[in-house]
């Protein structure tokens, strides 16, 4: 499946003073809604008309614009050159690492989320740039909205340690909520658990049959995460 680049999503790097003033938050009373919403999977609110922005006020939590972390290498597309063994390809694949491997490993052990999935989310959300701010105001490596960050106890969304810990914790909530079904959890991470809960499906296989009911952004998001995860899976 060819994934078109996401259009009209602006990214700003806070390391440039001229750009940092463009970031804005659209959260209101963020901390109050966080704990309240965790138990409100079935809460129903009107669907938002745009598939480009999904402000899940029903969840009071995280929603994400697709980042600019386009997948440039897919493991499934790698073919061995004549005389090259599959072990050579595997060795090259194992060499893939990031500047945040220690933090990712720590979060993985703490919350029971695979390192490859955490890396794939970071890759897709921010391309491992801890200073990015989306046009919607999502910040840092795991693109936390201000309301989500506050609810998770984050004091600096640009701090890699806080972003990775909080983003992984939130992802673990979705995996628990949807009984370990990864696609459902990723859809919830992107579009909000309330919206996904209203689909009335319990497995990833069932989700695929109703995928068209999710915003196009979320459909692409799930595919991009899976492609990115292949790069970090040993």
Q: Kindly list the catalytic residues.
A: 125
Q: How far apart are CA 133 and CA 130, in angstroms?
A: 9
Q: What are φ and ψ of residue 45, in 5° steps?
A: -140, 160
Annotate the chain with three-state secondary structure: CCCCCCCCCCEEECCCHHHHCCCCCCCCCHHHHHHHHCCCCCCCCCCCCCCCCCCCCCCCCCCCCCCCCCCCCCHHHCCCCCCCCHHHHHHHHHCCCCCCHHHHHHHHHHHCCCHHHHHHHHHHHHCCCCCEEECCCCECCCCECHHHHHHCCCCCCCCHHHHHHHHHHHHHHHHHHCCCCHHHHHHHHHHCHHHHHCCCCCCHHHHHHCHHHCCHHHHHHHHHHHHHHHHHCC
Q: Which two tokens stand for residue 213?
A: 């009911």
Q: How far apart are CA 216 and CA 69, in angstroms?
A: 17
């Amino acid at each position: 499946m060819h994934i078109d680049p996401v259009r009209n999503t602006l990214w700003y790097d806070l390391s440039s003073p001229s750009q940092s003033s463009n970031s804005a938050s659209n959260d209101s009373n963020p901390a109050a809604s966080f704990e309240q919403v965790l138990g409100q999977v079935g809460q129903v609110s009107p669907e938002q008309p745009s598939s480009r922005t999904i402000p899940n006020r029903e969840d009071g939590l995280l929603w994400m614009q697709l980042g600019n972390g386009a997948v440039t290498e897919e493991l499934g597309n790698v073919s061995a050159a004549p005389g090259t063994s599959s072990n050579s390809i595997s060795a090259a694949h194992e060499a893939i690492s990031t500047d945040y491997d220690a933090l990712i490993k720590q979060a993985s052990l703490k919350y029971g989320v695979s390192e490859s999935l955490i890396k794939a989310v970071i890759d897709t959300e921010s391309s491992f740039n801890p200073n990015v701010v989306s046009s919607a105001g999502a910040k840092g490596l795991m693109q936390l909205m201000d309301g989500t960050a506050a609810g998770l106890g984050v004091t600096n969304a640009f701090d890699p340690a806080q972003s990775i810990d909080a983003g992984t914790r939130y992802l673990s909530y979705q995996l628990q909520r949807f009984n370990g079904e990864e696609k459902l959890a990723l859809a919830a991470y992107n579009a909000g658990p309330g919206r996904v809960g209203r689909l009335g499906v319990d497995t990833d296989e069932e989700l695929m049959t109703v995928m068209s009911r999710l915003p196009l952004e979320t459909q692409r998001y799930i595919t991009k995460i899976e492609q990115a995860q292949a790069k970090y899976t040993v």
